[in-house]
Structure 1
Protein backbone atom coordinates (compact mmCIF):
# COMPACT_ATOMS: atom_id res chain seq x y z
CA UNK A 1 0.00 0.00 0.00
CA UNK A 2 1.44 3.38 -0.99
CA UNK A 3 1.74 6.18 1.58
CA UNK A 4 -1.27 8.10 0.21
CA UNK A 5 -3.35 4.91 0.20
CA UNK A 6 -2.24 4.11 3.76
CA UNK A 7 -3.16 7.63 4.94
CA UNK A 8 -6.61 7.31 3.34
CA UNK A 9 -7.06 3.80 4.74
CA UNK A 10 -6.11 4.94 8.27
CA UNK A 11 -8.63 7.79 8.01
CA UNK A 12 -11.37 5.50 6.76
CA UNK A 13 -10.71 2.95 9.52
CA UNK A 14 -10.69 5.71 12.18
CA UNK A 15 -14.08 6.96 10.95
CA UNK A 16 -15.49 3.38 10.95
CA UNK A 17 -14.22 2.69 14.48
CA UNK A 18 -15.46 6.03 15.84
CA UNK A 19 -18.91 5.61 14.29
CA UNK A 20 -19.14 1.97 15.38
CA UNK A 21 -18.55 3.19 18.96
CA UNK A 22 -21.25 5.85 18.48
CA UNK A 23 -18.84 8.73 19.12
CA UNK A 24 -18.93 12.21 17.64
CA UNK A 25 -15.62 13.81 16.63
CA UNK A 26 -15.82 15.92 19.79
CA UNK A 27 -16.35 12.86 22.01
CA UNK A 28 -13.49 11.03 20.28
CA UNK A 29 -11.25 14.08 20.82
CA UNK A 30 -12.02 14.04 24.55
CA UNK A 31 -11.37 10.28 24.78
CA UNK A 32 -8.06 10.40 22.89
CA UNK A 33 -6.55 13.76 23.77
CA UNK A 34 -6.24 14.53 20.02
CA UNK A 35 -7.95 17.71 18.83
CA UNK A 36 -11.23 17.53 16.94
CA UNK A 37 -9.73 19.31 13.87
CA UNK A 38 -6.78 16.86 13.80
CA UNK A 39 -9.10 13.83 14.04
CA UNK A 40 -11.18 15.29 11.20
CA UNK A 41 -8.07 15.79 9.05
CA UNK A 42 -6.96 12.21 9.72
CA UNK A 43 -10.42 10.84 8.86
CA UNK A 44 -10.47 12.78 5.58
CA UNK A 45 -6.97 11.50 4.70
CA UNK A 46 -5.55 15.03 4.83
CA UNK A 47 -3.08 14.29 7.64
CA UNK A 48 -0.63 11.40 8.01
CA UNK A 49 -0.61 10.67 11.78
CA UNK A 50 2.59 9.78 13.63
CA UNK A 51 3.00 6.56 15.60
CA UNK A 52 2.48 8.50 18.84
CA UNK A 53 -0.76 10.03 17.58
CA UNK A 54 -2.10 6.64 16.47
CA UNK A 55 -1.18 5.12 19.86
CA UNK A 56 -3.08 7.91 21.64
CA UNK A 57 -6.11 7.34 19.43
CA UNK A 58 -5.92 3.54 19.85
CA UNK A 59 -5.63 3.80 23.64
CA UNK A 60 -8.38 6.42 23.89
CA UNK A 61 -10.78 4.36 21.78
CA UNK A 62 -9.66 1.08 23.42
CA UNK A 63 -8.71 -0.60 20.15
CA UNK A 64 -5.45 -2.20 18.99
CA UNK A 65 -2.97 0.06 17.21
CA UNK A 66 -3.25 -2.05 14.07
CA UNK A 67 -7.03 -1.50 13.88
CA UNK A 68 -6.22 1.48 11.67
CA UNK A 69 -4.31 -0.53 9.06
CA UNK A 70 -6.03 -3.93 9.09
CA UNK A 71 -7.78 -5.31 6.01
CA UNK A 72 -10.04 -8.38 5.63
CA UNK A 73 -8.24 -11.59 6.71
CA UNK A 74 -7.23 -14.18 4.06
CA UNK A 75 -6.67 -17.86 4.99
CA UNK A 76 -2.89 -17.33 4.64
CA UNK A 77 -0.82 -14.19 4.31
CA UNK A 78 2.78 -13.79 3.24
CA UNK A 79 4.38 -10.55 4.31
CA UNK A 80 7.31 -9.36 2.21
CA UNK A 81 9.84 -7.16 4.01
CA UNK A 82 10.02 -4.70 1.10
CA UNK A 83 6.25 -4.15 1.26
CA UNK A 84 6.09 -3.14 4.93
CA UNK A 85 5.14 0.46 5.66
CA UNK A 86 7.41 2.38 8.02
CA UNK A 87 5.81 4.54 10.71
CA UNK A 88 8.05 6.95 12.59
CA UNK A 89 7.85 8.00 16.23
CA UNK A 90 7.14 11.59 17.18
CA UNK A 91 10.78 12.56 17.83
CA UNK A 92 12.53 10.46 15.19
CA UNK A 93 14.81 7.48 15.62
CA UNK A 94 11.93 5.06 16.37
CA UNK A 95 10.73 3.20 13.27
CA UNK A 96 7.86 0.71 13.41
CA UNK A 97 6.85 -1.70 10.65
CA UNK A 98 3.47 -3.32 11.35
CA UNK A 99 3.58 -6.99 10.29
CA UNK A 100 0.35 -8.59 11.52
CA UNK A 101 -2.72 -6.84 12.89
CA UNK A 102 -4.98 -7.87 15.73
CA UNK A 103 -8.36 -8.87 14.42
CA UNK A 104 -11.37 -10.83 15.58
CA UNK A 105 -9.40 -14.09 15.21
CA UNK A 106 -6.00 -13.06 16.55
CA UNK A 107 -5.49 -11.56 20.02
CA UNK A 108 -2.14 -9.98 19.17
CA UNK A 109 -0.34 -7.67 16.77
CA UNK A 110 3.28 -7.95 15.61
CA UNK A 111 5.83 -5.32 14.57
CA UNK A 112 9.45 -4.96 13.52
CA UNK A 113 11.02 -2.04 15.39
CA UNK A 114 14.30 -0.17 14.81
CA UNK A 115 15.67 2.40 17.24
CA UNK A 116 18.69 4.38 16.11
CA UNK A 117 21.69 4.74 18.48
CA UNK A 118 21.11 6.72 21.67
CA UNK A 119 17.41 7.35 20.94
CA UNK A 120 14.46 6.48 23.16
CA UNK A 121 10.72 6.05 22.71
CA UNK A 122 8.23 6.66 25.53
CA UNK A 123 5.01 4.64 25.45
CA UNK A 124 1.97 5.40 27.60
CA UNK A 125 0.45 2.53 29.56
CA UNK A 126 -1.80 0.18 27.62
CA UNK A 127 -5.15 -1.02 29.07
CA UNK A 128 -5.11 -3.71 31.77
CA UNK A 129 -4.44 -7.19 30.43
CA UNK A 130 -2.14 -6.09 27.58
CA UNK A 131 1.27 -7.77 27.48
CA UNK A 132 4.30 -7.03 25.31
CA UNK A 133 6.83 -9.56 24.07
CA UNK A 134 10.16 -8.29 22.71
CA UNK A 135 12.74 -10.35 20.80
CA UNK A 136 15.99 -8.45 20.23
CA UNK A 137 17.79 -9.36 17.01
CA UNK A 138 20.49 -6.63 16.96
CA UNK A 139 21.98 -4.05 19.31
CA UNK A 140 21.48 -3.28 22.98
CA UNK A 141 18.14 -2.15 24.32
CA UNK A 142 17.12 -0.85 27.71
CA UNK A 143 13.45 -1.20 28.62
CA UNK A 144 12.08 0.70 31.62
CA UNK A 145 8.66 -0.31 32.93
CA UNK A 146 7.46 1.66 35.92
CA UNK A 147 10.39 1.36 38.37
CA UNK A 148 11.95 -1.73 36.72
CA UNK A 149 14.79 -1.61 34.19
CA UNK A 150 15.87 -4.44 31.86
CA UNK A 151 18.91 -4.45 29.56
CA UNK A 152 18.59 -6.70 26.52
CA UNK A 153 21.42 -7.88 24.31
CA UNK A 154 21.27 -9.61 20.92
CA UNK A 155 19.17 -12.77 21.22
CA UNK A 156 17.48 -11.75 24.50
CA UNK A 157 13.71 -11.60 24.94
CA UNK A 158 11.41 -9.85 27.40
CA UNK A 159 7.74 -10.25 28.36
CA UNK A 160 5.99 -7.64 30.48
CA UNK A 161 2.58 -6.43 31.52
CA UNK A 162 2.21 -3.18 29.59
CA UNK A 163 -0.31 -1.45 31.87
CA UNK A 164 2.41 0.96 33.06
CA UNK A 165 4.19 3.69 31.11
CA UNK A 166 7.32 2.22 29.52
CA UNK A 167 10.41 3.38 27.63
CA UNK A 168 12.50 1.63 24.98
CA UNK A 169 16.00 3.10 24.75
CA UNK A 170 18.87 2.12 22.47
CA UNK A 171 21.91 2.37 24.74
CA UNK A 172 24.36 1.14 22.11
CA UNK A 173 26.20 2.61 19.15
CA UNK A 174 24.35 0.44 16.57
CA UNK A 175 20.69 0.35 15.60
CA UNK A 176 18.64 -1.82 17.97
CA UNK A 177 16.31 -4.14 16.01
CA UNK A 178 13.59 -6.17 17.63
CA UNK A 179 10.31 -7.89 16.99
CA UNK A 180 7.46 -6.77 19.23
CA UNK A 181 4.27 -8.71 19.87
CA UNK A 182 1.48 -6.95 21.73
CA UNK A 183 -0.96 -9.47 23.20
CA UNK A 184 -4.53 -8.49 24.14
CA UNK A 185 -6.20 -10.81 26.64
CA UNK A 186 -9.67 -11.75 25.43
Structure 2
Protein backbone atom coordinates (compact mmCIF):
# COMPACT_ATOMS: atom_id res chain seq x y z
CA UNK A 1 0.00 0.00 0.00
CA UNK A 2 1.22 3.55 -0.73
CA UNK A 3 2.70 5.48 2.16
CA UNK A 4 0.56 8.40 3.27
CA UNK A 5 1.90 11.49 4.96
CA UNK A 6 0.75 12.72 8.37
CA UNK A 7 -1.75 15.57 8.65
CA UNK A 8 -0.65 19.12 7.83
CA UNK A 9 1.22 21.10 10.41
CA UNK A 10 4.69 22.31 11.18
CA UNK A 11 7.08 19.45 10.37
CA UNK A 12 9.37 20.13 13.35
CA UNK A 13 11.02 16.70 13.49
CA UNK A 14 11.95 16.74 9.79
CA UNK A 15 13.23 20.33 10.02
CA UNK A 16 15.17 19.56 13.21
CA UNK A 17 16.94 16.58 11.62
CA UNK A 18 17.73 18.56 8.45
CA UNK A 19 19.17 21.51 10.41
CA UNK A 20 21.40 19.25 12.52
CA UNK A 21 22.52 17.31 9.43
CA UNK A 22 23.34 20.43 7.40
CA UNK A 23 25.06 22.24 10.27
CA UNK A 24 27.23 19.17 10.90
CA UNK A 25 27.94 18.83 7.17
CA UNK A 26 29.08 22.46 7.07
CA UNK A 27 31.21 22.02 10.21
CA UNK A 28 29.58 25.01 11.92
CA UNK A 29 28.63 25.60 15.54
CA UNK A 30 25.18 26.65 16.72
CA UNK A 31 26.55 30.14 17.37
CA UNK A 32 28.05 30.47 13.87
CA UNK A 33 24.84 29.41 12.12
CA UNK A 34 22.65 31.59 14.36
CA UNK A 35 24.87 34.62 13.70
CA UNK A 36 24.86 34.01 9.94
CA UNK A 37 21.06 33.68 9.95
CA UNK A 38 20.50 36.67 12.23
CA UNK A 39 18.59 34.67 14.83
CA UNK A 40 19.20 33.88 18.49
CA UNK A 41 21.29 30.84 19.32
CA UNK A 42 18.50 29.67 21.64
CA UNK A 43 16.04 29.79 18.71
CA UNK A 44 18.32 27.60 16.60
CA UNK A 45 18.81 25.23 19.52
CA UNK A 46 15.02 24.90 19.92
CA UNK A 47 14.60 24.27 16.19
CA UNK A 48 17.31 21.59 16.19
CA UNK A 49 15.64 19.88 19.15
CA UNK A 50 12.28 19.92 17.36
CA UNK A 51 10.57 22.15 19.94
CA UNK A 52 10.54 25.44 18.01
CA UNK A 53 7.81 26.62 15.66
CA UNK A 54 9.74 28.40 12.90
CA UNK A 55 8.36 31.00 10.52
CA UNK A 56 8.98 30.82 6.81
CA UNK A 57 11.35 33.80 7.11
CA UNK A 58 13.45 32.10 9.81
CA UNK A 59 13.73 28.94 7.73
CA UNK A 60 14.83 30.89 4.65
CA UNK A 61 17.48 32.71 6.71
CA UNK A 62 18.79 29.37 7.97
CA UNK A 63 18.91 27.95 4.44
CA UNK A 64 20.98 30.93 3.31
CA UNK A 65 23.26 30.56 6.33
CA UNK A 66 23.75 26.85 5.60
CA UNK A 67 23.92 27.24 1.81
CA UNK A 68 21.16 24.73 1.24
CA UNK A 69 17.92 24.67 -0.79
CA UNK A 70 14.75 25.38 1.16
CA UNK A 71 13.26 22.06 0.12
CA UNK A 72 16.12 20.31 1.93
CA UNK A 73 14.47 21.25 5.23
CA UNK A 74 11.17 19.58 4.41
CA UNK A 75 11.94 16.73 2.05
CA UNK A 76 12.94 13.59 3.96
CA UNK A 77 14.01 10.55 1.93
CA UNK A 78 10.96 9.62 -0.08
CA UNK A 79 9.33 6.24 -0.40
CA UNK A 80 8.84 4.68 -3.84
CA UNK A 81 5.18 5.77 -3.87
CA UNK A 82 4.10 8.87 -2.00
CA UNK A 83 0.54 10.21 -1.61
CA UNK A 84 -0.24 13.60 -0.12
CA UNK A 85 -3.94 14.27 0.41
CA UNK A 86 -5.37 17.77 0.04
CA UNK A 87 -4.72 19.63 3.28
CA UNK A 88 -1.86 17.30 4.29
CA UNK A 89 1.91 17.52 3.95
CA UNK A 90 4.69 19.53 5.58
CA UNK A 91 3.44 23.12 5.91
CA UNK A 92 5.35 26.25 6.85
CA UNK A 93 3.70 29.64 7.32
CA UNK A 94 4.90 33.19 6.84
CA UNK A 95 5.11 35.41 9.92
CA UNK A 96 3.81 38.59 8.27
CA UNK A 97 0.97 37.35 6.03
CA UNK A 98 -1.64 34.63 5.57
CA UNK A 99 0.62 32.55 3.32
CA UNK A 100 1.45 28.86 3.66
CA UNK A 101 3.66 26.63 1.55
CA UNK A 102 3.40 22.85 1.29
CA UNK A 103 6.36 21.09 -0.29
CA UNK A 104 5.09 18.28 -2.48
CA UNK A 105 8.39 17.20 -4.03
CA UNK A 106 11.91 18.56 -4.22
CA UNK A 107 14.01 18.22 -7.33
CA UNK A 108 16.92 15.88 -6.72
CA UNK A 109 20.38 16.92 -7.94
CA UNK A 110 21.11 16.35 -11.63
CA UNK A 111 17.50 15.93 -12.66
CA UNK A 112 15.21 17.40 -15.29
CA UNK A 113 11.47 17.91 -14.99
CA UNK A 114 8.81 18.25 -17.66
CA UNK A 115 5.44 19.77 -16.72
CA UNK A 116 2.14 18.74 -18.32
CA UNK A 117 -1.56 19.48 -17.91
CA UNK A 118 -3.57 16.26 -18.17
CA UNK A 119 -7.28 16.17 -19.04
CA UNK A 120 -9.22 12.91 -18.93
CA UNK A 121 -12.75 11.59 -19.01
CA UNK A 122 -14.16 8.41 -17.50
CA UNK A 123 -14.40 5.33 -19.67
CA UNK A 124 -10.88 4.26 -20.55
CA UNK A 125 -7.86 4.08 -18.28
CA UNK A 126 -4.56 5.36 -19.67
CA UNK A 127 -2.12 2.53 -19.02
CA UNK A 128 1.53 3.43 -19.49
CA UNK A 129 4.40 1.09 -20.11
CA UNK A 130 7.55 1.72 -18.06
CA UNK A 131 9.58 4.76 -19.08
CA UNK A 132 13.38 4.94 -19.01
CA UNK A 133 15.06 3.90 -15.73
CA UNK A 134 15.06 6.48 -12.94
CA UNK A 135 11.93 8.36 -14.05
CA UNK A 136 9.46 9.54 -11.39
CA UNK A 137 5.99 10.91 -12.08
CA UNK A 138 4.25 13.46 -9.86
CA UNK A 139 0.50 14.09 -10.23
CA UNK A 140 -1.47 16.87 -8.52
CA UNK A 141 -5.17 16.37 -9.22
CA UNK A 142 -6.85 19.74 -9.81
CA UNK A 143 -10.44 18.69 -10.52
CA UNK A 144 -12.49 15.53 -10.52
CA UNK A 145 -11.49 12.11 -9.23
CA UNK A 146 -9.00 9.64 -10.65
CA UNK A 147 -7.26 6.35 -9.96
CA UNK A 148 -3.54 7.02 -10.40
CA UNK A 149 -0.22 5.30 -9.74
CA UNK A 150 1.39 1.93 -10.16
CA UNK A 151 -0.69 -0.44 -12.27
CA UNK A 152 -0.88 -3.03 -9.47
CA UNK A 153 -1.70 -0.50 -6.71
CA UNK A 154 -3.39 2.64 -8.06
CA UNK A 155 -4.64 5.17 -5.51
CA UNK A 156 -7.95 7.02 -5.77
CA UNK A 157 -7.34 10.77 -5.67
CA UNK A 158 -9.72 13.69 -5.17
CA UNK A 159 -9.12 17.31 -6.16
CA UNK A 160 -6.08 18.65 -4.34
CA UNK A 161 -4.48 15.24 -3.71
CA UNK A 162 -0.90 14.53 -4.82
CA UNK A 163 0.89 11.27 -5.65
CA UNK A 164 4.37 10.40 -6.84
CA UNK A 165 5.49 7.02 -8.12
CA UNK A 166 8.24 5.40 -10.18
CA UNK A 167 7.51 6.01 -13.86
CA UNK A 168 9.85 3.20 -14.80
CA UNK A 169 7.20 0.69 -13.69
CA UNK A 170 3.81 0.10 -15.39
CA UNK A 171 1.37 2.79 -14.25
CA UNK A 172 -2.14 4.12 -14.87
CA UNK A 173 -4.27 7.27 -14.93
CA UNK A 174 -8.01 6.60 -14.94
CA UNK A 175 -10.54 9.44 -14.67
CA UNK A 176 -13.48 8.58 -12.41
CA UNK A 177 -15.45 11.83 -12.90
CA UNK A 178 -16.21 14.03 -15.92
CA UNK A 179 -13.93 17.03 -16.39
CA UNK A 180 -11.01 15.50 -14.50
CA UNK A 181 -7.71 17.31 -14.93
CA UNK A 182 -4.32 17.27 -13.27
CA UNK A 183 -0.81 18.62 -13.40
CA UNK A 184 1.76 15.97 -14.26
CA UNK A 185 5.48 16.43 -13.69
CA UNK A 186 7.83 13.86 -15.16
CA UNK A 187 11.19 13.88 -13.41
CA UNK A 188 14.24 12.44 -15.16
CA UNK A 189 17.29 11.70 -13.02
- With the length of structure 2 as denominator, give the TM-score of the two structures: 0.50
Q: Which runs of 5+ in 2 are unaligned?
A: 1-5, 114-141, 143-182, 184-189
| RMSD between aligned residues | 2.8
> How many residues are treated as equivalent by the alignment?
110
Unpaired segments of 5 or more residues in structure 1?
109-136, 138-178, 180-186
Residues 84-106 of structure 1 show CA distances to partners (whole Å, capped at 9, x for unaligned) of 23321111211212111243354
Query: Helix, strand or coil: the match of 1:87?
Result: strand
Map 1:33-182 → 2, pairs under 5 A: 33-104=38-109, 106=111
Larger radius of gyration: 2
Task: Say which structure, 1 or 2, has more relative contact order (CA 8 Å, 6+ apart).
Answer: 2
Q: Does the C-alpha gap of structure 1 residues 92 and 4 become closer, same or farther in structure 2, counting only changes over 3 Å?
A: closer
TM-score (normalizing by structure 1): 0.51
Once residues 99 and 22 of structure 2 are traced to their aligned partners in structure 1, the CA distance between those partners, rounded to angstroms, is 26
C-alpha distance 27-20 of structure 1, shift in aligned 2 (>3 A): same
| Deviation of 1:10 (Å) | 0.8
